Chains A and B, each alone.
Chain A
């Protein structure tokens, strides 16, 4: 099991706001990075560093954190945001990179 815990599935109505969470003790010390993966495609980086978006990622994607939890927020979710979302950070020892188990986002 991963040291980063994500809800397996989350749904959001079209145009509404959704928050995807990632929990782990290591997040008290290390930033979470977020990736989006659509079926049959390679992952895409959506958030890096504390809350930076790569070029080409819409500004409806944002990130925040508190204590041992990192949050990916999509403000005004679009149909094309339906995908799996994975967080990544170090483990509690700091010696390994780990991914969360992923959250499947459904846009209704």
Chain B
């Protein structure tokens, strides 16, 4: 059974940092791209970052580029999101999700498994 378990969320002041982790199990982790998708309270979905199965290709939304860094440790089956210079508008539930392919840009797959999310709250 595929499981994705996020951790590391919390309350942080504007300008602060947090690191989210996503522990994966139930599949061969390094065979699949991974992504972080966030959802502000009562709002829609935003794909903020993604990474290929090997870790050699990454993607960032313009809203987080230069502030967030995605990485993965395939030996530990864990995905990370380092978030620096946090803004109030980064407040959201952050989901870790698995892509159904090793290539993040694969047009023939979707995000087929999701965690339950980690809540990040940035105060002013």
Contacts and interface: CB of A to CB of B under 8 A. Distances in A.
Contact of B50 (A37, A45, A97): A97
B112 A54 contact: yes
A101 B109 CA distance: 21
Given A96-B61, A97-B50, A45 B110 contact: yes
Interface string B108-122: 111110111100000
Given A42-B116, A43-B95, A48-B109, A96 B62 contact: yes
A15 interface: no
Interface string B94-111: 010100100000011111
Given A42-B116, A96-B62, A97-B50, A86 B45 contact: yes
A49 interface: yes
Given A45-B110, A49-B108, A99 B46 contact: yes
A13 B59 CA distance: 41
Contacts of A43: 37, 45, 95, 97, 111, 114
B47 interface: yes
Interface string A2-23: 1000000000000000000000
Give the size range of B's interface with the partner: 20 to 34
B111 to A, nearest CB: 6
Given A42-B95, A42-B115, A97 B47 contact: yes
Interface string A42-76: 11110111000010000000000000000000000
Nearest to A94: B105
Given A102-B44, A102-B45, 14 more contacts: A31-B108, A35-B45, A42-B116, A42-B117, A43-B95, A43-B114, A45-B112, A47-B110, A49-B108, A49-B109, A86-B45, A88-B45, A99-B47, A100-B44
Query: Closest 9 A-B residue pairs measured CB to CB?
Result: A48-B110, A42-B114, A33-B110, A99-B45, A97-B47, A45-B110, A49-B108, A102-B44, A45-B112
10 contacts: A43-B45, A48-B112, A49-B109, A88-B45, A96-B62, A97-B47, A98-B47, A99-B45, A100-B44, A102-B45
